[in-house]
A and B are shown apart, each in its own frame.
Chain A
Amino acid sequence: MTVTDPYACLGTGCEVTFTPNLRQALKSERNVVRFFRNTLQH
């Protein structure tokens, strides 16, 4: 998905492409759960 966002390209605004990636999403999910387990459940 491509959108034009004024916040992109260091605030000058440009087209931004959203690139879903299941592998990275699952990696991120694991990171997040580990982070909150460590910081909230100790």
Chain B
Amino acid sequence: MRFLASQCRFALIIASLLLTTNTFAGGYLSNHHKHRLSFPELPYISYVSFPSASGSDPITISAQLRIPKGYEKENIPAVIIMHGSAGVDSRGSLYALALNKAGIATLEVDLWAARGWVGSVTGRPNTVPETVPDAFGALKFLATQPGVNAEKIGLMGFSWGGVITMLAATTPYSDQFGEGLSFASHMANYPVCWAYNVVPGYEFYDLTGAPVLIQSGELDTYQIRVAILLVLYPARLKAYSAIVNTVMPHMHGIGYNQK
């Protein structure tokens, strides 16, 4: 009786194994024939470091460099991506992937690692201008990379990085840290617009003339002055006509593009 039971159990195990294997293989093969899997071609990704443009004793900044495949022999444009207060997160890669697909190289900078932070609201530098030289360090690094067009390097950022993006568009910062190089265009996501021309060091006039795109949420308490900023200072903005302000309707907070 016991022998019969163990035989039955053995037969059941063999049958279920065969059934599973067949179903799996059949399913895989039929799916394989129906839908050929295709993966987007990933760019060449490397982790690099370069000195900040902060003067005699610069800190070493690290970043992720992505060169799209198929453009290796061309002189392609590039965009430097600066993170927000929380450090490198999903926002940077969202834009990096799309820009790489469009044939634009990206350099996503980590401002906090060089300063020994992992990224949080507390513990960051006291002011954004302290980190502006890092963006110009990245610009100098990219400008020397083979295959990158030194005259077509843009800058974008989120929140803290957005403020860096705005300040780098002004002549005082560009002249101080650029050493003859400047950004070709600027794209700032929710760059704390109330602070400009109010807080010392955040002057937003005397611009380099490069186009600036600002994106912010309509109901965002950081950005309430964005319209006022553009209305109050048109005479002092050299590139006023180049500034585009895109407001995301009905968005409350910053980070609408954060996963």
Q: Is the CB of B256 within 8 A of A21?
A: yes
Mask, A6-42, CB within 8 Å of B = 1, is 0111110010111111001101111111011101110
A16:B253 contact, CB within 8 angstroms: yes
Contacts of A39 in B (CB 8 A): 154, 184-185, 210-211
B79 near A36 (CB under 8 angstroms)? yes
A10 to chain B, nearest CB (A): 5
Say if the beta carbon of B213 comes within 8 Å of chain A: yes
Tell me if B232 counts as interface (CB < 8 A to partner A). Answer: no
Can you identify 29 A-B contacts, CB atoms within 8 angstroms? A3-B121, A7-B195, A8-B222, A9-B221, A10-B194, A10-B224, A11-B195, A16-B254, A17-B252, A19-B251, A20-B258, A24-B248, A24-B257, A28-B257, A29-B94, A31-B213, A32-B99, A32-B156, A32-B187, A33-B99, A36-B77, A36-B154, A36-B156, A37-B104, A39-B184, A40-B104, A40-B153, A41-B77, A41-B152
State the interface size on chain A (CB cutoff 8 A). 31
Question: A32–B153 Cα gap in the complex (Å)?
Answer: 14
Which of A18, A30, A33, A37 contacts B254, CB < 8 Å?
A18
Determine which residue in A11, A31, A32 has the highest number of CB atoms from chain B within 10 A of its CB, and name it.
A32
Cα–Cα distance between A19 and B95 once the two chains are bound (Å): 18
Residues of chain B with a CB closer than 8 A to A1's CB: 255
Q: With A16-B221, A35-B185, A39-B185 known to touch, is A28 a contact of B211 (CB < 8 Å)?
A: no
Chain A residues within 8 Å of B213, by CB: 31-32, 35
Question: B252, A19: Cβ atoms under 8 Å?
Answer: yes
Whole-angstrom distance between the alpha carbons of A37 and B4 in the complex?
75
When chains A and B are docked, how far (Å) is the Cα of A32 from the Cα of B79? 11
CA distance A42 to B214 in the complex (A): 21
Chain B hits for A35, CB < 8 A = 185, 187, 211, 213, 244
A-B contact count (CB 8 A): 112
Contact A36 B251 (CB under 8 A): no
B187 contact from A10, A14, A18, A36, Cβ within 8 A: A36
Nearest-CB residue, chain A, relative to B255 = A18
Q: Is B49 an interface residue (CB 8 A)?
A: no
What residues of chain A lie closer than 8 Å to B85, measured between beta carbons?
5
4 closest residue pairs by CB, A with B: A40-B77, A39-B185, A18-B255, A25-B257
Residue-by-residue, is B223-256 near A (CB-CB < 8 Å gives 1, otherwise 0)?
Answer: 0110000000000000000001010100111111
**Does B192 sit within 8 A of A, measured CB to CB?**
yes
| B189 at the binding interface (Cβ < 8 Å) | yes
Residues of A within 8 A of B244 (CB): 35
Select from chain B the residue with minimum beta-carbon distance to A7. B192
Contact (A11, B257) CB under 8 Å given A36-B104, A40-B185:
no
